[in-house]
Structure 1
């Protein structure tokens, strides 16, 4: 295993579940159209969801790389500064991983977050969100037991106090892609900013491929890609990563992502084991006739 993914830091945090002040999703018609009750199906009969009338549950204030990574309900009107964003994401993943561990819930880091782990066990400095995955059994347990939980988070620094909302998309119970409006199954949201962790579930959808797991966005994995999960650290707390993390990353990003040392206006410094921002190009202020 790449030793850079096993960096260990010591942090101490305390979190507690407090009563949520947010109404149930059934009270939020603003999230989409009303259910058409004339064409019932199993999801409708049990959960009030009609496949033929799927609506987008999570909303973002924009679609670009910046505004597309905030939850509209908690967005404050302006993106947070880069330094604040970095600190917010760091506390958010620490709180998330520890909450899941404390409650015996299995989860692991995925996609660009997993790539950050591979390089130095940290969030890539240009990332706007964090990605994690769970199995569908865990996802449905979250929906039944922990949906709409608000988590109070503090550290040994009394000045650091944050709250997070665990919000499970009602369409998480529909395990195929459907209309493609709800590929994100749940979110762990920083209430003060709207920044979030995307949580996606993996399911076995084809009876003739019992070892194949996939999410609603078309990412597919074999059981041996994921299990047994490896225990490591990420942003200073214990984290799980897929067993064949290198193959997973190569499949999604190519081998170059594991070796290229320049990306997104940053250069990898092997001595610091950090991505360092590139110096901006010197501006030529000369006037030409």
Structure 2
């Protein structure tokens, strides 16, 4: 048994140690992340697709696709005028694959450039504004390059977007990411900070096409890239996010409430039948 006098001393020492160490422990637990350059209103998936500085209110479903269409047209036109190589990526590339248009459930757009191009944009076009007119309405777009675009790794993940093309009237944007050969032991493999990887032969030579009615570039092996990112089903499934593919007009259309109800009931019926078969076996 430890004498009571020693017990008191030990308890006092522990209290002193805890009091002395806790500020450091608290500091370690609350270590600050790298300040995020681009910020969004947040609170919902839709609100994560607006730049906080220009956000005035959520754009309705009926209007947002036209806003995105103007965004991509203005971006592709401007960079083409400056001789800058950029290409469609991720969901935007998938939209091109289906019908050369933005998919109606998308709330932002994705494009890529090489690291050398991003460096050039940062040195020559950062914070420049560009005016474009659509249907006799003029809009101003901002090219904003994240100073963290020079970072080789994703770090704490706060700055994986290297630049944005922003509609200054409402805050909707195009995410621009740079790909580069980041791994010394993987020459010829290009990647962005979000760990999407591509072989040189998958990206170049770029294919020239059209997207939303303007000239656009896409990676050479676009189909392999899409299958690798979204799976084989992404190129054949004709229902997604409350929309169905209409073969008559080659467009995604929003399903009605009755259609959605029928799809749910059909899915529930299939599930019941599968359970019954399992029970019989």
Q: TM-score normalised to the size of structure 2? A: 0.79
Q: Does the CA-based 8 Å contact 2:33-2:158 persist in structure 1?
A: no
- Number of the residue aligned with 2:142: 165
Give the one of 81, 84, 92 matched to 2:60: 81
Cα-to-partner distance string for 1:244-289 (whole Å, 9 max, x where unaligned):
0000000000000000000011110111000011110388xxxxxx
Give the one of 231, 243, 247 matched to 1:270: 247
> How does 1:79-228 map onto structure 2 within 5 Å?
79-155=58-134, 157-158=135-136, 160-228=137-205
- Number of the residue aligned with 2:212: 235
**Partner of 2:97: helix, strand, or coil?**
helix
Q: After the TM superposition, which segments of 4 or more aligned residues of structure 1 sit over 3 Å from their partners?
A: none
Q: Measure how far apart 1:83 and its partner are.
A: 2.2
Structure 1: distance between partners of 2:84 and 2:47: 30
* Distance 1:272-1:150 versus aligned 2 partners, 3 A rule: same
Residue 64 (1) aligns with residue 44 (2): yes
Cα-to-partner distance string for 1:109-145 (whole Å, 9 max, x where unaligned):
0000000000000000010000000000000100000
Q: Measure how far apart 1:63 and its partner are.
A: 4.9
Structure 1: distance between partners of 2:152 and 2:96: 28
Structure 1: distance between partners of 2:101 and 2:240: 16
Structure 1: which 5+ residue stretches go unaligned? 1-51, 284-289
Name the larger-Rg structure: 2
Over the residues paired in the alignment, what is the CA RMSD in angstroms? Answer: 1.4
Higher helix share: 2
Structure 2: which 5+ residue stretches go unaligned? 1-31, 262-281
- Higher RCO, Cα 8 Å, sep 6+: 1
Give the number of aligned pairs.
229
Structure 2: distance between partners of 1:104 and 1:175: 25
**Partner of 1:73: helix, strand, or coil?**
helix
Cα-to-partner distance string for 1:161-217 (whole Å, 9 max, x where unaligned):
111000000100112111211000000000001000000000111122111001001
* Distance 1:90-1:174 versus aligned 2 partners, 3 A rule: same
Q: Which moved more, 1:67-76 or 1:202-211?
A: 202-211
Cα-to-partner distance string for 1:2-21 (whole Å, 9 max, x where unaligned):
xxxxxxxxxxxxxxxxxxxx
Structure 2: distance between partners of 1:200 and 1:108: 10
